[in-house]
Structure 1
Amino acid sequence: MNLRLIRRYRNRLSRTSGLLKNNPVVALGMTMPFVIVPTLSLKAGLLMSAFLAAATIPSAVLASLVGRKIPPLFSLPFYGTVSTGCVLLLRFCVSGQALLLEDLGVYVPLAAFNGMMLELALVHPRRRVPDALHDAVMMCFGFLLVAAFLSALREFLGSGSLWGVPLTAPIRIRGLVLPFSGFILIGFLSALFRRVDSIIIGRMLHASRRTAKQGGDAV
């Protein structure tokens, strides 16, 4: 059986780990931001992703540069200070968006110690800066994709607007504006990711078996 297509598919997923494979939300369970932010609009979802990236990317890159020089006892305070400083800097830059910052609420300070930052800076830091930057950007972009999709869906179907502009939705599901809806939508999205992956693998296996059978018949 020729499994080269499957291996090639898996290699491509591995090179973009964090985007689809090992997505921080649907695969690694980073769901809390979608629950603690009660009114998650598309604007709020994008700003939430920006705070996450501001805390994660600098810490991951810094860990690859000086991580081996910092004693383990001081690693968490050091990277926590760096990520908190980056989050505060971004908050200052978007201080004019008072309503959005109010929507994010307690998430802004919590973003400094998000799971992605802790994973990339403390648990599994990369030794090379390009690898660290690649991992951090992919995971942040993977979070952004899910945040943009879910927040747009919740705003459109739950509130009847998108980017703050009133629109006529085909249906209104007012329950989508409630915090618990984040868990439900992420569960469906995770199941969809797994189903699509299994369908792709299944079709590749079927094509490999058919090719092997045709080769055997030809012989």
Structure 2
Amino acid sequence: MGTSMFWAGQNKLFKETFGKIEGWLADQGYVGSIDINCIVNENGIYPLEFTPRFGYPTIALQEESIESSTGEFFYDLAHGNDPEVDVHNGYQIAVRVVLPPFPFDDEKTYDENSRNAAVVFETGSREGVHLEDAKNVDGQWRVAGDNGMPVVVTGKGDTMGAAREQAYDRIDEIVMPNMYYRDDIGERWIDGDGDRLQAWGYLGP
């Protein structure tokens, strides 16, 4: 229901994962984003899942952090050019704001609690608000689809704490009946995960 990120160079974490297939991917002509979900500890890196696409909510998180034109970025990718991307030098978080029955499939619960529910923005700003399963009906945003995932909210900052503050302040300006979300995105980084990754040498050169 959310994730955090920052941009980094080709550190040990990269070299021990993507670095091992970088040449093969280039030979195959692959361009774009790839996610590798891993368990990492002092003993090693254990990949769990490999996703060769712009995933969700990762794409919203990347959009929050790219400070140059995202349109030009995708144009360059599609045409085989090497994109020049200016990115935020800090941290970003994305929080998925959901409705019942997420994460389950229950049509009756969805119909009773969430279908066509109003999505109300208390301010005119849409900074950091990424609509997913939502539609505009006569000027009113409403929940669409059938999975209860209408909105992702992002934030960024020089620290993970600042990114959290911005994202959750933005969520406070959104009103939907029965909405819920995780309030701990980025906390583990602050509570020591970042220091551990650094101490284990994964984030250095």
Structure-2-length-normalised TM-score: 0.27
Greater C-alpha radius of gyration: 1
Higher strand share: 2
